[in-house]
Amino acid sequence: MLDDYLAKFTEKAKACHEIHLVGPLIGLAPDYAGPVNYPGPILYVDGGADFRYGEQGLAVGDGDSAQSPMDVKLNYSKDYSDLSFVLNYIPAAFKKIHLHGFLGGRRDHELMNFAEIHRFLIGRNLTQARFADEVLACSAGVYQLPIQGLFSLFLFAETTVELTGDCAYHVQKAQQIIPLSSHGLSNTGRGQVKLKCNGPLFIFFTHGL
C-alpha cells in the first residue's frame, strides 16, 4: 500500500521531488500549519496521524502514540522505529524530505531520528532532510545555503567537507572535521554559504534556516 501510494508521485508525467513526514510532536513544531493544498505525498507517522487533514496522505505506524487509525498498521513488537520503516520506502526521486514533529520529546527518540536520517542519506545524492527550521541534514552533493546567524556542523561518520562563502569559519579541502566531535560547533553565517560533502552531515541552526 505504501509503495503504491508513493509510486503515484514518482511517475515521469507528474514527478514530485518533495515529501512531508508528520510526526507526533507537532506541538513542538510551531512552523507547521499543515500542507492543506500540498499536491505531493504526505506520510503521517504514527502519532502524526492525529494531525491529519481530512483524507489526504497516508498514516503509517504501530499506533502506540496515536488516537487515529493507521492505513498501514505495523506490528507493535518490532525492533525498528516507525520512522525507520517509512524511510526505507522513500524512493531516491524524492530530494527534499520535510520532517514535522520529530524534534523534542524523549531524547533517545530524537537522537535515533537523527541516526535514521543519517542512514537514509548514505548513498543518496543532492538530498536534504529538514527538521522544521532547526536542523538540516544533507547527503553527498554541493549546496548553496542562505544562512544568517549561528550554525554548527555535525558528522556521524567520516565525510569529506568543504565549507566556503559568507561564513566566519571555512573548511578547506585539506582540513578534516572529526566525526562525533565538536569541531564544527558555533560557526556564523552572513549570507550565501557553499557546502560540498561526499556523505551525510547535519547542520544545526540557532535561529532557524
What is the domain count for the chain? 2
Which residues, at least 6 apart from 98, have a Cβ–Cβ distance to it below 8 Å? 18, 19, 20, 21, 130
Task: Name the grid cell of 135.
Answer: 536542523
- Overall average pLDDT of the 84-97 stretch: 95
Beta-carbon count within 10 A of 154 CB = 20
User: Tell me, what CATH number does 35's domain have?
Assistant: 3.40.50.10240
Supply the range of the domain harboring residue 193: 141-205
Last residue of a domain, one of 132, 157, 189: 132
- Residue 121 sits in the same domain as residue 149: no
- Residue 35 sits in the same domain as residue 114: yes
Q: What is the pLDDT of residue 179?
A: 94
Q: Is the dihedral of CA 179, 139, 32, 27 positive or negative?
A: negative
Residue 75 has pLDDT above 50, yes or no: yes
Residue 80 has pLDDT above 90, yes or no: no
Last residue of a domain, one of 132, 154, 183: 132
Contact 191, 148 (CB under 8 A): yes
179-188 pLDDT, tens digit each: 999 999 999 9
The reply to whether the predicted model has a pTM over 0.85 is yes
- Residue 38 sits in the same domain as residue 119: yes
- Residue 56 sits in the same domain as residue 98: yes
Q: What is the pLDDT of residue 37?
A: 59
- Residue 170 sits in the same domain as residue 98: no
- Alpha-helical (H) ranges within the chain are 2-7, 82-87, 107-121
- Residue 22 sits in the same domain as residue 120: yes
Task: Name the grid cell of 11.
Answer: 511517475
Q: What is the pLDDT of residue 33?
A: 52
Q: What is the pLDDT of residue 29?
A: 45
Nearest to 45 by CA among 18, 11, 80, 13: 80
Give the whole-number percent of the chain exceeding pLDDT 70: 91
- Residue 95 sits in the same domain as residue 196: no
Q: 26 or 113, which is more confident? A: 113
- Overall average pLDDT of the 30-57 stretch: 76
Last residue of a domain, one of 132, 166, 192: 132
* Position 153, amino acid: L
- Residue 117 sits in the same domain as residue 166: no
- Residue 194 sits in the same domain as residue 104: no
Helix-then-strand count for the chain, H and E: 3, 11
- Residue 123 sits in the same domain as residue 160: no
- Residue 105 sits in the same domain as residue 189: no
- Residue 98 sits in the same domain as residue 58: yes
**How far is it, in rounded angstroms, from Cα 111 to Cα 125?**
23
44: buried, middle or exposed (CB in 10 Å: 19+, 13-18, 0-12)?
A: buried
